[in-house]
Amino acid sequence: MTAPRKNNREFHLIEKLFAPHADAKTAGHLRDDAASYTPTPGHDLVISTDMLVSGVHFPAHAAADVVAARLVGSNISDLAAKSAKPVGCLLNLAIGAPWDEAFLTDFAAHLGTLLAAYEMPLWGGDTVQSQQASVSLSVYGELPSGTMITRAGAQIGDDVYVTGVIGDGFLGLQHALAGTRGDSLAAYHAPRPPLLFGQKLRGLAHSCLDISDGLAADLDHLCTASLKAMRVTLADIPLSPEGQAYADGAETLADLLSGGDDYQLAFTAAPDDSAQLAELAAATNVRLSKIGTVQPPVEGDYRAEFVDRSGQIITLHRRGYQHF
């Protein structure tokens, strides 16, 4: 968020709307063209970024608080999956219709509230004009050196877990598009990844990621990275009451498993650690569900296999959201 020449509109927006949320020591109140951060001794820096495009990742008419909450939630989710503590972020804004100054003022206020809640000050970024509005956040986190949880560590015999409920992000989007109300709308408008629980998974989870593209696709990502397979029992996948009412058949259940936007965690851990994981979930007020096991792949098929209660394999023709 480089400060341009005095008196132009970009400087005005930065000074008025975003500088109050900046870290004075690291970012110099956004009056310089770079930030400087020294990691805590003995810690690694974890870096991630996500871009949200109007009309793709949120409805074009979405309110400023929704855009801010989805932006921060989707990025904090990445840090939660790596077991990192947030320390700072960079914001990039492509300002297009209908994002006028009133929208940006509201956006900045809600963004500041969220950044303060996560103790993640603004370090800088950039602003540009664009025909299509979009916004991205690059987040920086820390953790003790060598403790980052990756996608590649799943072990045969591991239990497969998810936090929260699955599918409410998809259902909430349907409400947002239709202008209707429902309990799932909050899950889409303001995702709340289990950050503290994710930080406590160090030394317990063998592999982990956040559920953003859809549970089926993201479990496939874990399998591919770990060169393993999974067997998941459909009945053990946690659904909200609204999700249970919606999933009245194979196709509608597939919607919930492939719709994405859940921003919960999927991870694998040893069966011997199940009691400790349950205690951590209770201590951090997180719903935790064991949904399957990690298995050896068959003929190099690194995928999650979904079965019903009788063990019958259920084919999912849609696995998750695809950008291209």
Tell me the one-letter amino acid at 321. Answer: Y
Write out the two tokens for 125: 């970024």
**What pLDDT sits at residue 4?**
40
What is the rounded average pLDDT for all residues in the chain? 92
For the chain, which domains are there?
Answer: 9-144 (3.30.1330.10), 159-307 (3.90.650.10)
Write out the two tokens for 120: 């993640």
**What pLDDT sits at residue 2?**
46
**What pLDDT sits at residue 96?**
93
Tell me the one-letter amino acid at 173. Answer: L
- In the chain, which stretches have pLDDT less than 70? 1-12, 24, 28-29, 320-324
Per-residue pLDDT reduced to its tens digit, 98-157? 899 999 999 999 999 999 999 999 999 999 999 999 999 999 999 999 999 999 999 999
**What pLDDT sits at residue 324?**
47
